[in-house]
Each structure stands twice: as structure tokens, then as C-alpha cells.
Amino acid sequence: MVEINAFICGCGHTGTTIVARIMGAHPEVFCPPFETEVFLADEHKALRHYRALLLVADRLRKRAFVEKTPNHLLRLELIRKLVSGVKFIITVRDGRDVAASFIKRTGNADVGIRRWLDETELSLRERQRPDVLLVKYEDFVAAPKTIIEHVCSFIGVRFHPSILEYHQHPVMWFGEREIRKGTGLNGREHNALRNWQVNQPIFDGRDLWKGRLSHEQIAVFESGPGRALMRALGYL
């Protein structure tokens, strides 16, 4: 029977997927290989779908249910209301790199900038809550073992070093049927790229923004509306 419930969320392109992929390799964890979006629905429907997911975890004899949907960041209070003892792993990342990553997905940085400003502010509001573990993408990339140990301890499962070798055991994510390096453009190509990425060793995506963002886009984070958030996270 499931004893542990944890949700990985945060602004898109901040590392939610790779953290979920690693935790999904844990022998005690059931982590659906897709974004369930279960709590984006109304309360009645959300509870019904959530219980259905727990039944899958029970059939697999997993004691921990871990789920990853970035936009669950917007529904934390609903999840707290419906899920007793829930834990949240909220990922954050340098806004310049988030914006640069969105360029590959959408062709421009505007969506990434808007999402990072709004969702990073929400993330920082939550960081002092006892049911929240804030994970910086840069810390994860620099010391994945240390960060995953923290995640395991936080949710209440024993750390298994083998989960860091997740890529040696391919898993199809996002409904994909083959491992193919997609272009990353929105839609099928984006899902193909993400599925390819979660079956590779940890990729260092720090400082992607250099040479990709305009001076005006950089200014949003260094001197404009994102400056306070960047300073609060230690990026400036």
C-alpha cells in the first residue's frame, strides 16, 4: 500500500523531468512516465484519477507514489487538501537558461520569460514550507548524488545508488515508442527529444543562454523585473 506521496513541479525546463526519471528508477517508487496533470482538473475528477493512479502503484507493490507535472505548482493548496502528508519537490533554474531552452521549443523566449517570472515567484513563496524541498537545477547537475540523496531522505525512502544509472534501463516516456532525438519543437518533436534526454546520462544545461539571448532578454533577468528573483536564488 502507498505510504508516501510526492509531487515534482516547478516552472517548465527547470529539471522536473530528469528528477522524476531518476526517482522512477527507485525500487520502491511508482512514477508514471508522463505528466498526469491529475490535479489540474476539478476537485472531484482529480480525486478520482488520483485514486486510480494509487491503485496502479498498489498493484506494483510500491510504497511511494511520485508524480511530475510542472503546472501542479499552481495547484499546491488543492493537493494539500486532498492528499494527506504530501511532499513537494519544486525545481528552479537560472531564468536565462530557461528562456534559452524555450527558444528551442517555441522559436522565441517570450513564453519562457513570462513563465519563469510568474512561476519562480510562486516557487520562492513556498520554499520555507516544511512540505517543500526546493531543488536548484545547477546544484543537481553539479552534484546529482547529493541532491537525489536529499530528495530520497525528504520523501522518506532509502537512497539506492543504482538509480543514478537510470539510463542503462531505457523507459519510454510521454507515450513515445522509440528513443529518437527529436528537434525539440512543440508537440511530437518536443516529446521525442524529452524521451531521448531521459534515456541519456545527466546533461549539463548550465549557461545555455550565452550567445542565444539578446541584450534585451538578458536585461529582463539582470536589471529588469527578474532581477530580484535571480538575486534571491543566488544567480546574481
Q: Is 135 helix (H, G, I), strand (E, B) or coil?
A: strand
pLDDT classification of 186: cutoffs 50, 70, 90? confident
> How many residues are recorded in the chain?
236
Q: Which residue has the cell 513537494?
A: 88
Mean pLDDT of all residues belonging to the chain: 96
Average pLDDT rounded to a whole number, residues 123-148:
98
pTM: 0.96
Which class for 175: exposed (0-12), middle (13-18), buried (19 or more C-beta within 10 A)?
exposed
Q: Which residues contact 141 (CB under 8 A, 6 or more apart)?
A: 202, 203, 204, 205, 206
Whether residue 71 has pLDDT greater than 90: yes
Q: How far is CA 26 from the centre of its chain?
A: 16
